[in-house]
Amino acid sequence: ASAAAGSTARDVIEAIRVVIHGQVLELGRLDSVAGDGDHGIGMQRGSRAAADEASAAVSAGAGAGTVLCRAGDAWANKAGGTSGALWGAGLRAAGERIGDQLRPGADVVAAAVDAARDIVQSMGGASVGDKTLVDALVPFTLGLTARIDNGETLAVAWSRAAEDATAAAVATADLLPRVGRARPHMEKSLGSPDPGAISLALAMTAAAAVFTE
């Protein structure tokens, strides 16, 4: 009954799967600087499982909320690792907020992204500046919400927020990690960006192409 938004949600997950697939080696390399090197493969496993599940949900007529919840659960189950648990929980929280209405407004999409940010921060306990994916997710969420509140379209607001997230992810190179696996290797991480922040920015940038006027 809510196929329109369900298909869009599926297209977002598929766009994320494609961009991650193309960056598996680079994300693994970034994670090997101060982490265990599995971020590329973990993100690939998670986004693949999520995209498969999203397609199955759309075929069954699911709306956006159900698509995102099922995709998130599949991601968390298949990815393994810290980022997999956080991505899974974030997608589920977004799905629960957006629900299965046929045409959710841009303000509802922004609220769903903020619900994802909220669960990611409460689950992982990281704040801005800790050198994690939160350093990209928070500016993305703030940028999206501010632009939508200003009356910009979802397409424009999302793509500009993705630019904010990319700049913030690149800037994590200058930070020392305070949480997560990279923490014991603090000094090695200096000069190299956080892999989870980079993959999040890549994902949001790829997803921007789905939202057209």
Binding site for ligand ADP (CB under 6 A): 31, 35-36, 38-39, 42, 81-83, 86, 124-126, 132-134, 179-181, 194-197
Nearer to ligand ADP, 86 or 154 (CB): 86
Nearer to ligand ADP, 36 or 149 (CB): 36
The answer to whether the beta carbons of residues 143 and 114 sit under 8 Å apart is: no
Distance (Å, whole) CA 13 – CA 8: 9
Q: Which of 11, 14, 38, 53 touches Mg ion by CB under 5 A?
A: 38
Nearer to ligand ADP, 58 or 89 (CB): 89
* Encoded tokens for 25: 């080696």
Compute how many other C-beta atoms are within 10 angstroms of the C-beta atom of residue 174: 10
CA distances (Å), 1 to each of 71, 178, 184, in order? Answer: 19, 46, 50
Nearer to Mg ion, 10 or 45 (CB): 45
Closest approach of ligand ADP to the CB of residue 5, in Å: 28
Among Mg ion, ligand ADP, none, the one that 205 touches (CB under a kind-dependent 5 to 8 A) is none
Closest approach of Mg ion to the CB of residue 14, in Å: 24
CA distances (Å), 206 to each of 65, 200, 203, in order? Answer: 20, 10, 5
Q: Which residue is nearest to ligand ADP (CB)?
A: 196
**Total number of residues binding Mg ion (CB under 5 A)?**
6
The answer to whether the beta carbons of residues 208 and 153 sit under 8 Å apart is: no
Nearer to Mg ion, 43 or 108 (CB): 43
Nearest to 207 by CA among 122, 137, 105, 103: 137
Closest approach of ligand ADP to the CB of residue 55, in Å: 23
